[in-house]
């Protein structure tokens, strides 16, 4: 489980070096740190006897007055995502005109939802060795070579992915909630910094759609039934019993 904190530490170092401005650095630091801290807390404190799983289970527990580590993670990452979105969203348009308060709040709310839901989706994918890291690598690569303000953060995601994937595929290490939530939050913030509003909203819709679908459909079963996804998912994996 040390892969998660190590990935989070690498991401924090990378975003501080690669951020194009102090505001971007602050946004990336808040999002990544919140994902890591509350994810690690869930890793260490999760009640394995509690059968509540997924967003619906943890939010249901909160509605009944029970605070699970998963519920605390939902709240903590959500607040961190909103703070990061506020830091990443300037009060003026690129043309220099001042944004309306309503427009700014809409952008902050949608961007915060994108950051938080990205953190959650990467965690949902972290069910097989290398799966989550391959997914974030595919999304981060085009962002890293583009000219947007999130390019440096996307490059940090690629660097962390490259450093972690060998041992992850070998089933020696795993991201856990701490690593998966941190890398997802960083990638979500990179998208917020780089992408225009229509793209952000489109990605948010896709991520929320996948999150809702995950409550009813097993990603693993879908992947196993789809030849291309199955081959990509298995690529590079070296199970411990095979290596022995």
Q: Is the dihedral of CA 73, 48, 211, 186 positive or negative?
A: positive
- Give the angle subtended at the CA of 118 by the CAs of 113 and 121, to the nearest 5°: 120
Alpha-carbon distance values, 170 to 166, 192, 224 (Å): 6, 33, 20
Residue 9 has pLDDT above 50, yes or no: yes
Q: Give the DSSP per-residue string, 41-88.
A: HHHHH--TT----HHHHHHHHHHTT---HHHHHHHHHHHHHHHHHHHH
What pLDDT shows up at residue 215? 86
pLDDT band at 211 (very low <50, low <70, confident <90, very high): very high
Residue 30 has pLDDT above 90, yes or no: yes
- DSSP type of residue 150: T
CA distance 97 to 88: 17
pLDDT band at 90 (very low <50, low <70, confident <90, very high): confident
- On whether the CB atoms of residues 39 and 123 are closer than 8 A, the answer is yes
- On whether the CB atoms of residues 135 and 122 are closer than 8 A, the answer is yes
Q: What is the mean pLDDT of the chain?
A: 89
CA distance 233 to 160: 19
The two three-digit tokens of residue 207, written as one number = 């991520």
Range of the domain at 7: 3-243
Q: Give the DSSP per-residue string, 84-124.
A: HHHHHS-SB-TTSPBPPHHHHHHHHHHHHHHHHHHHHHHHH
Q: What's the number of domains the chain is made of?
A: 1
Residue 122 has pLDDT above 70, yes or no: yes
Q: In this predicted model, what pLDDT tens digit does every residue of 148-182 receive, in sequence order? A: 999 999 999 999 999 999 999 999 999 999 999 99
**At 215, phi and psi to the nearest 5?**
-70, -20
pLDDT band at 56 (very low <50, low <70, confident <90, very high): low
Place of tokens 């595929």: 169
What pLDDT shows up at residue 59? 60
What pLDDT shows up at residue 212? 92
Q: In this predicted model, what pLDDT tens digit does every residue of 212-238 receive, in sequence order? A: 999 889 999 999 999 999 999 999 988
Residue in 187, 173, 129 with CA at minimum distance from that of residue 4 = 173
What pLDDT shows up at residue 244? 42
Residue 51 has pLDDT above 60, yes or no: no
């Amino acid at each position: 489980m040390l892969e998660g904190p190590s990935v989070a530490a690498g991401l924090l170092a990378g975003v501080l070096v690669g951020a194009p401005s102090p505001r971007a650095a602050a946004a990336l630091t808040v999002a990544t740190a919140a994902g890591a801290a509350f994810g690690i807390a869930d890793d260490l404190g999760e009640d394995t006897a509690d059968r509540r799983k997924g967003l619906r289970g943890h939010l249901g527990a909160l509605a009944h007055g029970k605070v699970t580590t998963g519920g605390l993670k939902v709240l903590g990452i959500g607040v961190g995502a909103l703070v990061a979105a506020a830091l990443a969203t300037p009060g003026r348009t690129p043309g220099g005109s001042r944004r309306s308060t309503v427009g700014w709040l809409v952008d902050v709310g949608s961007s915060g939802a994108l950051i938080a839901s990205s953190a959650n989706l990467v965690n949902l994918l972290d069910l097989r060795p290398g799966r989550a890291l391959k997914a974030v690598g595919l999304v981060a690569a085009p962002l890293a070579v583009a000219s947007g303000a999130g390019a440096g953060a996307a490059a940090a995601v690629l660097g962390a992915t490259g450093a972690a994937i060998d041992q992850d595929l070998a089933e020696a290490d795993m991201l856990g909630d701490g690593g998966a939530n941190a890398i997802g939050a960083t990638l979500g913030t990179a998208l917020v910094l780089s992408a225009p509003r229509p793209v952000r909203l489109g990605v948010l819709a896709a991520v929320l759609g996948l999150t809702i679908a995950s409550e009813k459909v097993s990603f693993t079963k879908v992947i196993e039934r789809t030849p291309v996804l199955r081959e990509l998912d298995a690529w590079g994996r070296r199970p411990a019993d095979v290596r022995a």
